[in-house]
Amino acid sequence: MAELDTHDSPLPTTTVKWRFPSIHPEGRKYTVVAVAIALFFYFVVSHFVGWLLVLVAIWVATFFRDPIRTTPRGDRLIVAPADGLITMIVKVPPPPELRGPDGLADGGYTRVSIFMSVFDVHINRTPITGRVKRIVYVPGKFLNADLDKASEDNERQHFLVEGADGLRIGFTQIAGLVARRILSFVKEGDPVEAGQRVGLIRFGSRVDVYLPVGTAPRVLLGQRSIAGETVLGEVGAEGTLTGSSQ
């Protein structure tokens, strides 16, 4: 990753070049299998089918891509944990699995839902710097992750991260129609930095983020978020954004 030198200048003096995203280790085995199947069909069964399966292998490799992200720093910033489309912004109570004296308090939280299609990056990242206070896995159904009731019915995994100042942010990985496994790269008690990779959902899904009471979202419905980079909200900032789709 490029380091930005700002010692004698208010602006960075180092340029950043595009690099081809690597494949996350979790996806390498699937990519190898997909390539092997494509080669078998190409040389043994049919060139045409083999080329189609090559395209599938390329898609599998692309699905597990793991690009480098540059996360803005700020004690009050909450960054997006997922790439995808902002499909819902609603006021809701926190999930029961995240409530309690050592969890989220009762009240109206702003839930920002990010839908990840099968073409989005599926590596999930923590919204704030702190310590993983709670991870709760809940088995469930595999409904369309774009539905509101997926937050309560689908297979999901809740995270609660607590910052050094006591700020607690909850977010939830939700499986969808195609997703069949939710993975976690961290465990309870682990320290994490904002933007750090914490999990993965295989093949299409959704992530919900619960913004604290008194924090308005800094994203709009229909906007696309970038995990580890897009600022979803700033704690205590209540201004309402407006925008248009065009």
Q: Active-site residue numbers?
A: 205
d(CA 231, CA 237): 12
Tokens 């004690």 sit on residue: 75
- Which residues are CB-neighbours of 98 under 8 A, at least 6 positions away? 104, 134, 136, 158, 160, 170, 210
Q: Which of 56, 23, 26, 59 is nearest to 40 (CA)?
A: 56
Tally of CB atoms within 10 A around 66:
17
Q: Which of 24, 18, 116, 19 is nearest to 61 (CA)?
A: 24
* Number of residues written out for the chain: 246
d(CA 237, CA 22): 36
- Which residues are CB-neighbours of 181 under 8 A, at least 6 positions away? 175, 201, 202
d(CA 160, CA 149): 21
Q: Cα dihedral angle (100, 104, 109, 110), rounded to 10 degrees?
A: -140
